[in-house]
Amino acid sequence: MISLPLFRREARRSILLLVIFAGILALYASVILTMYDPELGDSLAMMKDAMPELFAAFGMSDPGSTLTEFLANYLYGFLFLVLPLVLLILLTNRLVVGYLDRGTMAWLLSTPTPRWKIAATQALFQVVCGVLTVVYAGGLCAILSAAMYPGELAATPFFRLNLTLAALLCLLGSLCFLGACALPDSRRGLALGGGLCVVFILLQMLAQSGEKWEWLQYLTPLTAFDSAALASGGGSLWPALGLAGGAAILYAAGIWVFTRRDLCL
């Protein structure tokens, strides 16, 4: 199904990038976690009362009363979405755009490896990185929570929260991948796919900032990731399934186009 030598090469080549992102995520996770106060009601809440629209825009409308809700609000609402998205865009640039732009794809195609297999390898590597990022970030939060606030984190809602985030990231990653594979100019394709992801985020921020813009939530797949509901034990896993299904379709489409297109190498 995939080319192992290529997968290994990408893994070796991306280690540094992944470590850097792991560091950034760890930094944010630990800083935000130390700000959690089980008694609540102090600084963050005061700031939120002072400028509710701004907080709402970043998905921090309700700080929640439990640790899980707090995390969903302050990390999963924005940071844990945007940082991995940046990683996925950088990865698409490495895995697809770089090879096509520089012409090194010619070497991969001069081996007895079918095109679909090369594309599938790159897609899988991207998915693995996206999922690993969530596993890492979620795991880190769980460990830090257990150390700092034993027994406060609700396991099942927290797991479902991470699962849905992973599915959403897969969908955003697949958009970048499809863009890079489908357009004659791969770089522009990635700009289009990545740009669309950014637009989705902006639309969600706008939709959350006031009732006037609420209807915008129907234009962005981010709405399917209802972090607050999931954290408080509600919500369903159907949206996660839908996001993952969408990602699978877009990745398949990217591989399909890549197999049939002209490559100017």
Partner 1 sequence: MNHVIDVQGLTKDYGQGRGIFDLTFQVERGEVFGFLGPNGAGKTTTIRHLMGFIRPTAGQAAILGMDCFAQAATIQAHVGYLPGELSLMDDLTGDGFLRFMAQMRGMTDLSAVGELKELFRLDGRQSLRKMSKGTRQKVGLVCAFMARPDLLLLDEPTSGLDPLMQNRFVELLLREKARGATILLSSHMFEELERTCDRVAILRAGRLAAVERTEDLRRARTKRYVFSFPAPEAAAAFSAAWPGASRNDSSVTVALTGREDLSKLLRLAADQQVTDMTVDGGSLEEAFLGYYGEED
Percent of the chain that is helix, strand, coil (3-state, to 5): 80, 0, 20
> How many residues of this chain bind partner 1 (CB under 8 A)?
23
The answer to whether residue 6 forms part of the interface with partner 1 (CB under 8 A) is yes
**Contacting partner 1 (CB under 8 A), which of 39, 46, 50, 110?**
110
Interface with partner 1 (CB under 8 A), residue from 40, 102, 234, 236: 102
Using the contact rule CB under 8 A, the part of the chain among 43-51, 104-112, 161-169, 241-249 near partner 1 is 104-112
What does the alpha-carbon distance between residue 239 and residue 143 come to, in Å, rounded to a whole number? 27
Structure tokens, 184: 């004659």
| Contact status, residue 104 vs residue 75, Cβ threshold 8 Å | no
Residue 2 Cβ, how far from partner 1 at the closest point, in Å? 12
Do the beta carbons of residue 209 and residue 57 sit within 8 Å? yes
238 binds partner 1 (CB under 8 A): no
**Residue whose CB is less far from partner 1, 6 or 224:** 6
Helix axes 115-148, 79-92, angle to 10 degrees: 150
Question: Quick check: 265 binds partner 1 (CB under 8 A)?
Answer: yes
Amino acid at 199: V
Rounded CA-CA distance 258/252 in Å is: 10
**Contact between 103 and partner 1 (CB under 8 A)?**
yes
Q: How far is CA 91 from the centre of its chain?
A: 12
Q: Does 257 bind partner 1 (CB under 8 A)?
A: no
Dist. CA 251–CA 238, nearest whole Å: 20
Least Å from the CB of residue 122 to partner 1: 14
Q: Does 233 bind partner 1 (CB under 8 A)?
A: no
Would you count residue 13 as binding partner 1 (CB under 8 A)? yes
CA distance 183 to 157: 40
Query: Least distance in Å: CB of 110 to partner 1?
Result: 4
Q: If binding is defined by CB under 8 A, does position 20 make contact with partner 1? A: no
Residue 90 interacting with partner 1 (CB under 8 A): no
List residues near partner 1 by CB under 8 A.
3, 5-6, 9, 13, 102-104, 106-115, 117, 262-265
